[in-house]
């Protein structure tokens, strides 16, 4: 299997301390419907940054759409946690005399599940685990001015008009920006000291997640593709460097730099850029096209209906010797009281 090509950069088992092993993923994210990516509330503009367009001309600055790291990682974590919940692999934690199941953004991580060990946690007053999945902002290839549209939103009354039976006009009228279908974002994801099964879990989360951004129950469809997998002792070039290199390549190709971009041209340009990364300091291995196809097939097999439960339970079992039941506030109080008693006795 192609995953054996990465053995030197995969941990044989989970370890508490890092040992400099790095796996880098190059991810192409393509919007398949209207998409809303913003950090503020309704009506705010899409996330964007003014950056250098390509590589050779530092004076050409364009506004690029930004898919922030949290907009990527949160849906992917939730996707993986759906399956952990389905197989009872999320643990409970006792908080304020009440037991609750491990959950995100509630200051109540169980500190023992696959998600906690991989993506990290920070418990208020308790322990912490740094994420071993490093992400960064993904950037669109084309300028934001070419890839954003405006949508007028209204809410009709039951009579099908903007006025109720008393003639009062509806105030639910608003204009909001959205990202058009067919917009390409390029992203680099770094995995630190992960095992083979952890690699399968993370890639599975990326490939199985299909909704991002706001109003994801109605819009926000995206397709994720892994275009490159690298092994080494250092991070790959950044997402911004990647998208600038791809933009530069496309300017010298027959492809028109206008929305919608040809996806095949984007993939070809990306593969051309990342083909030279093997020469970068600290990067030792790049999977070939065949090896990458084999790796994705391996991941698909482990996430298949027949193998998924045994795969997740095997990964869950691999953390058993490192698990510690999180201390409750009461147990910490008793422990501190015991220390004080011991100190008084010694004095």
Per residue in 207-264, pLDDT (tens digit) is 999 999 887 778 889 999 999 999 999 999 999 999 999 999 999 988 888 999 999 9
Which of residues 134 and 105 earns the better pLDDT score? 134
Number of C-beta neighbours around residue 284 at 10 A: 15
Q: How big is the CA angle at 146 (ends 142 and 148), to the nearest 5 degrees?
A: 110
Tokens matching residue 311: 């795969």
| Rounded Cα–Cα distance for residues 22 and 328 (Å) | 35
| Rounded Cα–Cα distance for residues 48 and 63 (Å) | 6
Which element (helix H / strand E) includes 67?
strand 61-67
Q: Is the pLDDT of residue 146 over 80?
A: yes
Q: Which of 104, 46, 67, 28 is nearest to 264 (CA)?
A: 28
pLDDT per residue over 156-207, tens digit each? Answer: 666 666 666 666 666 555 667 889 999 999 999 999 999 999 999 999 999 9
Arithmetic mean of pLDDT, 29-54: 85
Q: Which of 226, 228, 213, 205 is nearest to 81 (CA)?
A: 205
Give the pairing of strands 128-129 and 22-31: unpaired
pLDDT of residue 106: 74
pLDDT of residue 155: 64
Arithmetic mean of pLDDT, 90-105: 81
Tokens matching residue 122: 């920070």
For residue 154, name the pLDDT band (cuts at 50, 70, 90): low
pLDDT of residue 165: 67
First-to-final CA distance of the chain = 64
pLDDT of residue 345: 46
Distances, alpha carbon 182 to alpha carbons 136, 144, 220, in Å? 21, 13, 12
**Percentage of the chain exceeding pLDDT 90:** 63
Using a 10 angstrom Cβ sphere, with 0-12 exposed, 13-18 middle and 19 or more buried, the burial of residue 96 is exposed
**Percentage of the chain exceeding pLDDT 70:** 83
Give the pairing of strands 133-134 and 184-192: antiparallel
């Amino acid at each position: 299997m192609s995953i054996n090509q990465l053995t030197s950069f995969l941990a044989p088992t989970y370890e508490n301390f890092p040992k400099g092993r790095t796996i880098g993923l190059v991810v192409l994210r393509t919007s398949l419907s209207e998409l809303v990516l913003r950090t503020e509330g309704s009506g705010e503009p899409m996330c964007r940054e003014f950056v250098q367009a390509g590589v050779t001309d530092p004076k050409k600055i364009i506004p690029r759409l930004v898919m922030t790291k949290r907009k990527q990682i949160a849906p992917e974590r939730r996707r993986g946690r759906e399956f952990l919940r389905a197989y009872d692999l999320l643990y409970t934690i006792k908080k304020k005399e009440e037991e609750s199941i491990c959950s995100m953004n509630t200051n109540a991580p169980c500190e023992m599940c696959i998600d906690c060990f991989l993506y990290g946690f920070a418990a208020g007053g308790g322990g912490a685990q740094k994420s071993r999945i490093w992400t960064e902002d993904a950037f669109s290839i084309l300028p934001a001015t070419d890839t954003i549209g405006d949508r007028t939103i209204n809410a009709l009354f039951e009579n099908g008009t903007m006025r109720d039976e008393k003639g009062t006009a509806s105030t639910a009228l608003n204009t909001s920006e959205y990202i058009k279908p067919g917009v390409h974002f390029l992203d680099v994801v770094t995995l630190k000291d992960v095992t083979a099964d952890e690699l399968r879990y993370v890639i599975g989360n990326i490939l199985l997640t299909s909704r991002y951004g706001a109003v994801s129950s109605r819009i926000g469809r995206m397709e994720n593709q892994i275009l490159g997998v690298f092994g080494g002792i250092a991070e790959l070039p950044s997402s911004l460097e990647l998208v600038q290199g791809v933009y530069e390549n496309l300017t010298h190709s027959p492809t028109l730099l206008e929305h919608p971009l040809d996806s095949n041209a984007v993939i070809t340009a990306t593969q051309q850029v990342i083909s030279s990364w093997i020469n970068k300091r600290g990067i030792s291995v790049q999977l070939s096209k065949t090896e990458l196809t084999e790796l994705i097939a391996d991941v698909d097999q482990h996430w298949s209906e027949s193998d998924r439960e045994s795969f997740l339970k095997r990964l869950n079992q691999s953390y058993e010797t490192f698990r510690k039941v999180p201390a409750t506030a009461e147990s910490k109080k008793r422990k501190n009281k015991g220390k004080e008693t011991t100190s008084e006795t010694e004095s």
